[in-house]
Structure 1
């Protein structure tokens, strides 16, 4: 099923951006795990729209309603189902997109795949709105992991070519919390101000900008994962590419490693506090698909939002001719900063699934 991921922890996302509700089914959660609803709602609020001029003006409470799987705030072992009702849709803004698909968006491919029957109001099932249910699942997974000393954190590494300070070699849970508490998720607030200025400038010019997210998982033991096609990188990348607008994933040094010599890229093994460690962690905490015990680090490339107010070239599907498209409505000038907690959520869910598979939880 295309909207499901996980092996023992199966997570399935459902709904459309302008439908009655969106939600998530989670099968395989261990029983007896308390869910701190206040903490979960605070995590959900980090990606919520309508909080500033940096995002869409659409206002949604994004408060999950649990239909099953939780009793008295504790998981009961049965499949968990949670929904979020949609309340602030302006569907008429999308009427013209049925015939004139947005460049850079799934309007055209969805029309071909489902022969014009796909509900693409607000982006339909392809919308960033569907990341809210992902944050329910990932927010719960983060709490379960934290009780085992495993923490996930992320920050906005770059926007419009403006770079934040990268994570240190050994990021801490306290650093993750400090970034998460900020209105704009960066380590260097000065860089964050320049990023915000670039986003607002793009909005004023009827345009949008993309960004890069850096995420890290700390506290993982060495030895998790398998080689070849089902390794830790494979599992993470497959799920991370399910986040709308993600067009690239790299681990550790990533593409930069291709410009290095082996003597530069090979990461010396050293002893730290009686444990084997890597001196620079250029492998991103994974070798041969298996964790090394170092922080697992990766970056996501998030494309600019396709919905911009500048006139764009497209086609009329009914007339079979080229046309001009002017998009109306409320859209994000940059989606990357709101996707930071989504990256954390997906990473936490995948890591929890792998730990369950290895009988570590």
Structure 2
């Protein structure tokens, strides 16, 4: 009887310890789940050949990811492509690495994004400046022609020589939109002006940008708008050298407010809010609301425009005129062309 009683007590004690142990394990599991929910989302970004420090849209895209990183929401990483053959390889490094989202920055990555997206239908990808029709890809484009029209208004009103240059990178639709909108804006306010357009064929050759700018300035142009990524730094370098010698020439920047880096020669900039677009789509991945599809950010969306710092070098009456034209574009009264032919 006593042995039975002792045995029963031992069994009850063992059961109590076991139950207590199970309860503790459940508590730990709960806290582990909580810690897991705080884990930063990994997002990768692949640049085009312009590189992450192109002082243009690659850099702007990276700054968008860095902003989310500062908020503690993501862990970003980037790979720089030195040639087009590296696009698929670089994209696959993130996709195969199970990153939550893989960005391709620039129209030239369109085919690579499509290939990788089709081969990896469970992955999430996004691209700037191109439309990739795959269900797992978010495509973000901008109305560059509308923003370029506005800086064209500035150039048309402020030129002293009636000669204005445009330096583009590769002649692709997105760069042609810049050129077409710019030319339309210039001629809207100054029909006597001449707009000379040249494509260098590269986004990573500052020497080509410098040569193109020198040609324009030597021929009498006093304002040059560049939409050439890293090649565009050469335009700024040429203008800076001339200003130091006493010449009065200007550059219109692109994608970012380039007066921050080139304050002495930047008249204004055609800003594309690539950083905000990258932040917003990346946030959708964090929130679990990401969906494939395409969207274009326009003047109405504040996706393009000119920076507030323009008031440093652009007179108030010209800025007022810019606002007037902006209102007409937003309302639909003015349709800005996307190619020179239209």
Q: TM-score, normalised by structure 1?
A: 0.23
| Larger-Rg structure | 2
The higher relative CO (CA closer than 8 Å, separation ≥ 6) is in 1
Q: Which has the higher helix share?
A: 2
Q: TM-score, normalised by structure 2?
A: 0.24
Q: Which has the higher strand share?
A: 1
